[in-house]
Amino acid sequence: MMQPGTFRLALTALVLAALLPWSAAAQVLGGRPPGGNGFKVGSGRLHPTLDLETRLDSGVGYFLDQGTGPLSPDLSGELALHVRPGLMLDVPSRKVALSLRGNLEYVAYTGLLTPNSSAASYLGGMADLALRFDPEGTLSVEVGDQLTRSDRTRSVALGAGILSLYNEARIRAQWKPGGGALELTPALAYAMEFFEPLGGLPAVGCTEAECDPLAASQFNYGNLRLGVEGRWRFLPKTALVADTGLTYRGYFNDTTTPGAALLHAMAGVAGLVSPRITLAAKAGWSQNLASGGGGSLVALAEGTYLWGPSLTLKGGYMRSFEPVAAYGTFRDDRFYAEARSLMGTRLALHAAGALDFLSFSGDRSDTLVTLDLGPEYQIRPWLLGAVGYRLSTRSSSLDARGLNFTRNEGYARLSATY
């Protein structure tokens, strides 16, 4: 059963989501509303949006076979319907600029493939609000908040079949003394994430709390980040970059997971190698100052290649060291690649993939493989159609079905923007 505090927070979050809706449709084909005039709001425009999506998902959750039993040892598949009404609002100003993205999302599992899966239907959504004060000045300040409720958690230690309610409040400043060659960006953010079961049943063979959706709420946490980023453009197209900060993680209900206080520092370079190639590389160290201890080298190497006017290739490697539920800390060695192509003025293609090697404090290690690809077509200035395929594969050194699975998702979506 959901804890009363979690229920109240979920209810509040959904009310906020209704007020601060978000739309993914604005991010395709250039990131602007694909059509329609919207409604004039001051110096900006308000654009209502609506996404209708059908998704065939092989990994909804764990349900009883034939609706009575026994419990299926594998993630069950289902045909799901997604309805996302939303809004986009941008109000530019030299004093206070406002940006708002949001949607409410109702996910209805039809029960056509797996009996009783309709009980896992849920109301989710996303919201992102940002206010930027004096955006063109030497010193500008941004205040914002991001809210998400979905079945994609940010805690990589937890298994499948879990709903996540995530909220992050942030404030950051950007200071450009001396004409902009030097940029300093201090930031402060506080995030909370709350978990609840989606399917309501634990995976077969699960003996650990991190693979049991019914026990996920014990890992509810608060996360505080303090940091400063710096950039010095010592050449017209090349800059020295630095990033340092402190991350503190505490758990509301869990007395066994050690808290973490990670201090990290990184430095490197970023810039144009040629008119078509952009490279960024930085490295440093992250150290856990809490009782759990431990540390790791952290690094980033990323390149972007503009292959003609309509094709962009991007790829790289990243090593991070972060706090995590159940284990305290983990290291992620991530290899990733992405390609985007605009064919004419209406058709866009995308393909993205990643390989993650996760090493947790202790003996556990996981491997994640993700793939996302598909076309998007501008049917009308106000109507966008998309189809795609998403693959998620996870294998763990722990022998639990909730941590070892393959999830295939095929989808078709229509996005309308006024």
How confident is the model over 217-276, as pLDDT tens digits? 999 999 999 999 999 998 889 999 999 999 999 999 877 888 899 999 999 999 999 999
Annotate 112-134 with b (16+ C-beta within 10 A) or e (fewer): ebbebbeebbbebbbbbbbbbee
Q: How far apart are CA 145 and CA 128, in angstroms?
A: 6
Tokens of 295: 């540390």
Q: How far apart are CA 351 and CA 218, in angstroms?
A: 36
Q: Kindly tell me if the per-residue pLDDT of 388 is higher than 60.
A: yes
pLDDT of 160 reads 78
Nearest CA among 285, 277, 278 for reference residue 319: 285
pLDDT of 301 reads 98
Averaged pLDDT, 192-209? 77
Task: Kindly state the DSSP code that residue 73 receives in the 8-state scheme.
Answer: S
Q: How far apart are CA 418 and CA 409, in angstroms?
A: 29
Instruction: Let me know how many helices (H) and strands (E) the chain has, helices first.
Output: 1, 19
Q: Kindly tell me if the per-residue pLDDT of 186 is higher than 60.
A: yes
Rounded to a whole number of angstroms, the distance between the first and last alpha carbons of the chain is 41
Averaged pLDDT, 343-352? 94
pLDDT of 36 reads 54
Task: Kindly state the DSSP code that residue 18 receives in the 8-state scheme.
Answer: H
Averaged pLDDT, 56-60? 87
